[in-house]
Amino acid sequence: MSAGATVFGTTAVGTAGTAGSSDATVRTQFAFTLPVGFVDSAGAVHREGTMRLATARDEILPLRDPRVRENEAYLTVILLSRVITSLGEVSPINPGVVENMFAADLAFLQDLYRRINAEGHTRIAVTCPACEHDFAVDSSGPAASRLGES
């Protein structure tokens, strides 16, 4: 799965037929590659996955969970387990899967969640240190974990 070629679950929305408007497409699924990878009970490493846009329900329902009431940090675990739609051959994606991820992968997924739900995309603006050219890179793909390396 290449970062630049994956667009899943797009839904057409818009106001067709009204003056001065055009149909738009909303990207609802985002492919990602974990920097380390989730290691399952058999020792297999799973790095490729998809995350969907969160709904209001995704953010509200976990607040009722007793684990979140006991420890607010657990909200991240439940929230990510709701919006990660695939991770290699792992099924189902549940809080136990997220609990057992490496810290680097959890941080990566938290950042991805923030970017796609607050900013609507996975692109990061960067500047080449050699030529000072500005461009955007997709931060959800395999090259994302190597950003800043030379």
Question: Which whole number is the average pLDDT over 1-25?
Answer: 43
Determine the structural domain holding residue 49 and report its residue range: 3-146
d(CA 23, CA 41): 46
What stretches of 20-102 show up as alpha helix (H) in DSSP?
Answer: 56-60, 66-70, 74-83, 95-99
Which pair of tokens denotes residue 26? 């909303």
pLDDT of residue 83 exceeding 90, the answer is yes
What's the confidence (pLDDT) of residue 24? 72
Band of residue 147 on the pLDDT scale cut at 50, 70, 90 = very low
pLDDT of residue 23 exceeding 90, the answer is no
Better-scored residue on pLDDT, 138 or 50: 50
Domain count, the chain: 1
Question: Which whole number is the average pLDDT over 21-27?
Answer: 69
Average pLDDT, the chain: 79
pLDDT tens track for 90-136: 999 999 999 999 999 999 999 999 999 987 555 556 678 888 766 55
With a CB cutoff of 8 Å and minimum separation 6, the contacts of 75 are 62, 63, 68
What's the confidence (pLDDT) of residue 12? 34
